[in-house]
């Protein structure tokens, strides 16, 4: 199981901000992104899903990777509620060894 708790540099479709995973219990996680709540976080193997709880809710899906130097990254796509568009996102954990 990956330990995703901590601070991340996040880029969502060119918009850079901080993603913070505050809590992780088993495969469930929660936190904030740009001050907005992250809810419904689920980790399954190397897959991750979560929702940014804002008026135009954003649903994220992605993959977790750890390189040989211990750098932890997540990347995938997100969709705003009411849209069929997919936007790319990626995040890099500020501290290493996320396993």
pTM recorded for the entire structure: 0.91
Matching residue, tokens 């936007």: 87
Given this structure, which CATH class describes domain 6-93?
mainly beta
Judged by phi (left if over 0) then psi (alpha if -120 to 50, else beta), residue 82 lies in: left
Question: Could you give the CA distance from residue 64 to residue 76 in angstroms, rounded to a whole number?
Answer: 9
pLDDT of the residue at 76: 99
Mean pLDDT of the chain: 94
Domain segments of the chain: what residues?
A: 6-93
pLDDT tens digits for range 31-78:
999 999 999 999 999 999 999 999 999 999 999 999 998 899 999 999
Question: Could you give the CA distance from residue 29 to residue 42 in angstroms, rounded to a whole number?
Answer: 6
Residue 95's pLDDT band (boundaries 50, 70, 90)?
Answer: confident
């Amino acid at each position: 199981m990956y330990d995703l708790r901590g601070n991340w540099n996040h880029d969502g479709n060119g918009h850079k901000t901080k993603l913070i995973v505050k809590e992780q219990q088993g495969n469930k996680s929660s936190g904030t992104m740009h001050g907005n709540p992250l809810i419904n976080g689920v980790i399954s193997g190397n897959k991750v899903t979560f929702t940014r709880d804002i008026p135009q809710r954003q649903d994220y899906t992605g993959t977790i990777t750890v390189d040989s130097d211990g750098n932890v990254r997540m990347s995938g796509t997100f969709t705003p509620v009411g849209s069929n568009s997919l936007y790319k996102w990626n995040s890099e954990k500020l501290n290493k060894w996320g396993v």
